[in-house]
Amino acid sequence: MTKRGITVLAGAALVLAAAPAFAAGGWTVRICRGATEASAIKISVGNPGSPDVELVNWKSDAKETDFPVADTLLKAGPKLHVKADSEPADGVVSMCVLYNGKPAKAMNFTDLQEATVGEKDTDAGCKCP
């Protein structure tokens, strides 16, 4: 087998190993890059009534815009509390909280916003579904 064949097989094995994590769905916070002007956003998540845990301290030069809420980070239940703080304080932010890949809550703001979102919520105001 050639080096290329081994590399392809190894890559396929990694993709298949990661597939159950993607298939499981769950909570994800997505930043709408085209509608966001803030240079940074600190995003924290948690169960309602419990302390929040930092999910990401996003910078505008980052390539990643989707941030899954891992079960190891948080035992997410049927509701998720999200807190987002923009830098600078007047920086325009557009982001969405997704559940199983579907927009559950659009968060369009400047400075700071908190929201509690349920699994069955839907929001057509998401600018980056």
Q: Which residues contact 11 (CB under 8 A, 6 or more apart)?
A: none
Where residue 30 sits, what CATH number does that domain have? 2.60.40
d(CA 112, CA 91): 10
Mean pLDDT of 63-85: 84
Global confidence as pTM: 0.78
Q: How many domains does the chain have?
A: 1
Please indicate, yes or no, if residue 91 is contained in any of the structural domains.
Answer: yes
Please indicate, yes or no, if residue 108 is contained in any of the structural domains.
Answer: yes
Give the pLDDT of residue 44.
Answer: 96
Domain encompassing residue 112: 25-118
What is the average pLDDT score of the chain? Answer: 82
Give the pLDDT of residue 23.
Answer: 36
Dump pLDDT digits (tens) for 9-65: 443 333 333 333 333 488 999 999 999 999 999 999 998 888 999 999 999 999 999
Give the pLDDT of residue 50.
Answer: 87
d(CA 80, CA 45): 7
Question: Please, is 36 exposed, middle or buried when counting C-beta atoms within 10 Å of its C-beta (0-12, 13-18, 19+)?
Answer: buried
